[in-house]
Homo-oligomer: A and B are copies of this chain.
């Protein structure tokens, strides 16, 4: 992700830009943030930005790829098998743990939702680089959730997977709409009931 001089050497301009852009794009939205603001807050200059990124759109796409990496890191950390002995949490427990952790974050004042979802809302035009990253990621998430639904023993894995995706996306957006105490806090409980009604008995 960070090409070189990563260890020890003083941070390259490109890295400072990436970090600053990530923060600003996520908190304020991509369209709302100008390249001038990014370079100023990063303590670099505009030519440095355009030497590392061909355009603002490309920088936005890079931000989203970084964002996606972190998303999967968190997702996998919560959902990938850690212990497999007796007493280790099963898939359903791990999924619900992930969702309640998500719900807690999302029902917090200042929460800004999913950077990838937000980017797709900001850029509805089909070919936009930022949107492409977002759409690709959501397709992958849908696959993962459907796989998990199958592993959970759903009678209709596609249906349960999609239902979980709807709940998750709903938590993302309603989290930033309602702030603290919003409906996102119920995402795990709702998912639990949906799973309950969707597994073969």
Interface residues of A (CB under 8 A from B): 27-29, 31-32, 112-113, 117-118, 120-125, 134-135, 138-139, 142, 158-163, 165-174, 176-178, 183-187, 189-190, 193-194, 196-198
Contacts and interface: CB of A to CB of B under 8 A. Distances in A.
A134 B176 CA distance: 11
Nearest to A178: B138
Nearest to A190: B163
Contacts of A169: 169-170, 173-174, 177
Nearest to A186: B162
A173 B167 CA distance: 11
Given A121-B122, A124-B29, A197-B193, A174 B183 contact: no
A193 B155 CA distance: 12
11 contacts: A29-B122, A31-B32, A32-B122, A112-B124, A121-B176, A163-B190, A165-B170, A166-B166, A166-B167, A166-B170, A167-B167
